[in-house]
Amino acid sequence: MRIRLLLIFSLVAGTTAVSYIFTLYEVKAERTALMQEVAKRSELLAESLKVSVEPLVELGSKRDLRRLVQSFGSREELAGVAVYDRRGAVEASNSPGLMSQLRGVPASVDQAIARNQPSGAFLTIGHKQMHVYALPLPRGHHLDGVLAIFTNAGSIAAESASLWRATFVRILVEALLVVLITVFLVRWTMVGRIASMAQWMRHMRYSHASEMAPPPQGDMFQPLAQEATRLALSLMAARAAAEEEARLREAGESVWTAERLRIFVESKLADRHLLAVSNREPYIHERRGNETECIVPASGLVTALEPILRACDGTWIAYGGGDGDRETVDDHDRLRVPPASPQYTLRRVWLTKEEIEGYYYGFANEGLWPLCHIAHARPIFRAEDWTYYQDVNRKFAQAALEEMEGQDHPFVLVQDYHFAILPALIKREFPSSRVAIFWHIPWPNAEAFGICPWQRELLEGLLGADLVGFQIQSHCNNFLETVDRVLESRTDWERFAVNRRGHVTLVRPFPISVDMHEKTNTPPVSGAVYLERGALLRDLGVEATFLGVGVDRVDYTKGILERFRGIERFVEKYPSYRGKFTFVQIGAPSRTHIKRYHDLMADMESEADRINWRFQTAQWRPIVFLKRHHSHAEIERYYRAADLCLVTSLHDGMNLVAKEFIAARDDEQGVLILSRFTGAARELRDALIVNPYDTEQLASAIYFALEMEPQERTARMKRMRRAVSDHNIYRWAANLINELAELRLEKPEALRVP
């Protein structure tokens, strides 16, 4: 009510003020026009009288002059007529009363006598507004007298007063109309929608995520609706987290959630700053015409690190590769993220095209990647690539040191093989920092790693960290054996630590995982799997009963060609499944301008075409190869509809596709066929473990998966889902932070860096 009264008062006051200003201007213009009209009328009358008065003045006949002047009686507008001599004395007048009220000679008469020119002016005579017009009566070059016309100007004030009264009435009517129309419009356009918004938010307070209704629509309230939606989602997420925590406490379980990780990080880090360093950024800005769009790349790393950085308002340092990235940062290359609710800082590092080619595509992906994966692709090491690799690591180190300036004992989490020498660079300049690096890919045996010409420099860079993390224990063992063989150091096999020049580096396994609960928001619906499978196959133009799926970035380490040959052998060996089983391979193109990746894509297309040519019919083909990037939502449709998922990596640190497939199967169906050469095979013992090089074994595993009894499929999937749930991405992050926070920092000698 108070707001409405304030709105009405503001409207009335505003309307009155605006009307007053315009009326003031209108009255002033009207008054000026009336005064000009009076002056013009006086001038015309004087000119007409001059013809009769002037001869009498020249003759000096004052009696005739008085008789003539007195013949002009007083009128409504004409107040009087007078003739003055050249000294200003009245010679004749038709209004003695008016003359008696004058205090001396009117100024306009004096000016006419002095200048021998007509003169007019307004003045007040006896409380009346008058206009006096004085017209000289010359004789040659001499002045005989002045004819003065006194005109009543009181009508001007009356007209102005009348205009003000009319304006006041108009203002009152306008104000009332504006108030009524405004109140009507407010009630029609705002009050109803605000009530709808309030009702929607009230509904959100008591509903569950699965019952979330769309917010009220309308351009006027779109920003408010967006913010209200975010707030509602945040409240629902907080409530869901609290309910989940309560449920877990009641059940005595210890599943990690994003909220639990946030609280854990706050307690471990206290007021210390945390930095994450990775090649890939969590938010990319791309130009779309005249606008810039913010894109969140599909990455398990973002899922793991964001809760940590949000909890402590940390900083994420990454390469800014989006074509709109430079436009969105400040003068210090910083940006607050996430865009909808900023909670931590993204610091972007800029790289030249030559640096990207040498550091990323060259040394990291043509050198270290094949070296560590041992997938029968010869690593390529070039001296110029190594130079760029060092330069980029120094550039990231400088950015990290700038962000740590003034901090007390900051935490630094370095990610992956792109930054092998970065830990030592940071530790040398900031010894009190706690530095961890997580190596996401495998670590080969010492003999294989010895191929690298700069193995010593890489190891010394890694040992600058206080904690080095790998996916599985065997990778830790390989790393320690490599250090033991290459560097002069003390290796503590009981503690799994390396002491080099007084600096101790712990080496630990931290198996990375996925967010299990993010993928189980909707309960399974009976029969939905079959409906979804049918819809997917129809979209692909294939008729089939059984569906298999593979999801990979196109890479020679993923064993996709071996997978295709296994499917070929399965269709050949078990002909009853021809026309019934179709395998969909989702292959996201990657590093395509590197020749071996470009050739691999061509080989995969050729192999799929060859196999399809052997067996396909008009309505069916055994392999569907989808060679483009797919969103999480698109991929999850295939996960949930597939009878089996094939993961046939030739060498993989973990392979999150296997865990994503399990997380998606809340119907507790589906079979995972998993390569023994993945880190995931150590955890997911209920998958069908295969050797991807063994084509016969692959074919038999596909047949066994399709023929498996539903009860066994359910039992296997339940156990695997429990394993993924217990060891999810948040537990991985918590273990990493906990290990780094608990270790004791030594006082090392000066670290040597390349």
Residue 152 has pLDDT above 90, yes or no: no
Who's near 725: CB < 8 A, 6+ residues apart? 255, 516, 517
In the predicted structure, residue 754 carries a pLDDT above the cut 60: no
Average pLDDT of the residues in 725-734: 91
Q: What is the pLDDT of residues 655-675, one digit of tens each?
A: 999 999 999 999 999 999 999
140: alpha, beta or left? (left if phi > 0; alpha if psi -120 to 50): left
Confidence of residue 525 (pLDDT cuts 50, 70, 90): very low
Domain ranges of the chain: 2-158, 223-253, 259-351+392-514, 528-727
Within a 13 Å sphere around the CA of 109, how many CA atoms are in the beta-carbon half? Answer: 24
What is the pLDDT averaged over residues 282-299?
85
Q: Looking at the predicted structure, is the pLDDT value of residue 458 above 80?
A: yes
Rounded mean pLDDT, 688-716: 97
What is the model's pLDDT at position 695? Answer: 96
For the ranges 82-86, 276-280, 356-360, 444-448, the lowest mean pLDDT is seen at 82-86
Can you tell me the distance from the alpha carbon of 447 to that of 458, in angstroms, rounded to the nearest whole number? Answer: 15
Helices and strands in the chain, H and E counts: 24, 23
Residues near 591 by beta carbon (within 8 Å), at least 6 away in sequence: 361, 365, 555, 597
Q: What is the CATH number of domain 2-158?
A: 3.30.450.20
Q: Assess whether the region 2-158 and the region 259-351+392-514 belong to the same CATH fold.
A: no
What sign does the CA torsion over 306, 309, 313, 319 have?
Answer: negative
CA angle 78, 84, 90 (to 5 degrees): 85
Topology classification of domain 259-351+392-514: Rossmann fold (3.40.50)
- pLDDT tier at 456, thresholds 50, 70, 90: very high
**Could you give the CA distance from residue 283 to residue 348 in angstroms, rounded to a whole number?**
10
Contact 150, 98 (CB under 8 A): yes
Please tell me the predicted confidence (pLDDT) of residue 237.
63
683 pLDDT higher than 50: yes
Percent of the chain whose pLDDT exceeds 70: 87
> How confident is the model over 340-374, as pLDDT tens digits?
889 999 999 999 999 999 999 999 999 999 999 98
- According to DSSP, the residues that pair with 120 across neighbouring strands are 133
Which tens digits make up the pLDDT trace of 399-420?
999 999 988 899 999 999 999 9
Mind giving me the DSSP string for 485-534?
A: HHS--EEETTTTEEEETTEEEEEEE------TGGG-SS---TTHHHHHHH
Indicate the pTM of the whole model. 0.70
68 CB-near residues (< 8 Å, 6+ apart): 52, 53, 56, 92
Angle between helices 695-707 and 560-573 (to 10 degrees): 60
- What pLDDT was estimated at residue 245? 58
DSSP structural state of residue 188 = I
Please tell me the predicted confidence (pLDDT) of residue 579: 94
Taking the CA of residue 525 as centre, how many other CA atoms within 13 Å lie in the half-sphere pointing to its CB? 8
The answer, yes or no, to whether residue 279 has pLDDT greater than 60, is yes
**pLDDT tens column, 198-253:** 776 666 666 654 455 666 665 555 666 666 666 666 666 666 656 655 555 544 45
Q: How much is the average pLDDT of 703-711?
A: 96
Give 663's Cβ-side CA count (13 Å radius). 23
- Give the C-alpha separation, 217 to 209, whole Å: 20
pLDDT at 20 over 80: no
- Evaluate if residue 111 carries a pLDDT over 60: yes
| Dihedral pair phi/psi, residue 269, rounded to 5° | -90, -25
Q: Give me the mean pLDDT over the 672-698 stretch.
A: 96
Reported as a pLDDT band with limits 50, 70 and 90, residue 436 is very high
Under the banding of pLDDT at 50, 70 and 90, the label for residue 475 is very high
Q: Given CA atoms 7, 8, 10, 15 in this order, what sign does their dihedral have?
A: positive
- DSSP-assigned states of every residue in 446-494: HHHHTTSTTHHHHHHHHTTSSEEEESSHHHHHHHHHHHHHHS--EEETT
Residues recorded for the chain:
754
Q: Find the mean pLDDT for residues 177-194.
A: 71
Mean pLDDT of the chain: 86
Residue type, 662: I
Task: State pLDDT tens for residues 49-59.
Answer: 888 887 887 77
Confidence tier at 314 by pLDDT (50, 70, 90)? very high
pLDDT at residue 753 greater than cutoff 60? no
CATH code matching the domain that covers 528-727, chosen among 3.30.479.10, 3.90.580.10, 3.40.50.2000, 3.40.50.2300 = 3.40.50.2000
pLDDT of residue 517: 66
DSSP annotation of 276 reads E
The neighbour count for residue 451, using CB atoms within 10 Å, is 14
Q: How do residues 547-588 score in pLDDT, each as one tens digit?
A: 999 999 899 999 999 999 999 999 999 999 999 999 999 998
Decide which of 195 and 102 is more confident. 102
